[in-house]
Structure 1
């Protein structure tokens, strides 16, 4: 059973999501809250597998809450919003959000995202991914593939597949710590700031 926390400052939205998402037999809505500060406190005090956070909330927004939650718990964060501004997307991902989808997403897709993120995958909706791809710095567009070892290329390909560090570790028969070290090396070689940019660069065919 996936223990889910819903956080949105609009009571109608959060209560509607509680009813709709709670109907799935694999999801248990353990709480709802109206801002990121309350969500952060709730997660420290309770077992929560996945937190569904709105971006724009009073007191503490979803991006700030993501940073707190990821630093203080094992809870995986999905950003759910009507807004798709670049800064929100980049900051939320940089702080550790595992999913980013829009509020007009059909309930069945939201449920699928919750389940995928719970299993360790990262999920970014196509429209959001396209926005990120179209706004990457030109300096990130050309990356010499010859600068990377065969193992690093395997790591890059796995990231592009949406695999978590744990899944990459299992796939390549190396420790999670080693995976993290490889990713750090890849980021240093490419000048990119987070793994999502690695995936986007690879998908765009920028590793030549």
Structure 2
């Protein structure tokens, strides 16, 4: 397991001069930092800043470092940060295996074997040739998780990834996601409005004001 660390140093985001988000934190290997707050409190804005696609209407200061390297001014695709959203966002024109293969680094050895192992890890053995449209919501979420991990990110941002799942699937997916992130040694930041998400993440909790 490779260990990574994400440092958020004196992050300060404003709009029209008014403070929106202020954060200073270190997220260690396998840790999940949860940021909670109502709509409009700046959760999504914080994610956009960290991922590298903050709208120019916002003013942002501070430093984001991944494994000691300053990534604050790097374009999104060079930051080494993976994203997991509310929707699985699977490519409809690709098979399940094609979706997993899409994000893998070009020179990854034994891609087919790794894809088969990833599907087996989440109870989807033999699903490689399936059309994503034939999958259930929980199965799509599992494929999205493994696509993220196979892309070999060094940190992960989670944007309310469980909010659109049926209630009975949420706890199962929480355990699956957080277990895999911990095993992979990935520092992760979760934004959510659900306290059960925060409890399952098991890390520190920061609450943003309205």
TM-score normalised to structure 1 length: 0.29
Structure with a larger share of its residues in strand: 2
Structure with a larger share of its residues in helix: 1
State the structure with bigger RCO (CA 8 A, min sep 6), 1 or 2.
2
TM-score normalised to structure 2 length: 0.29
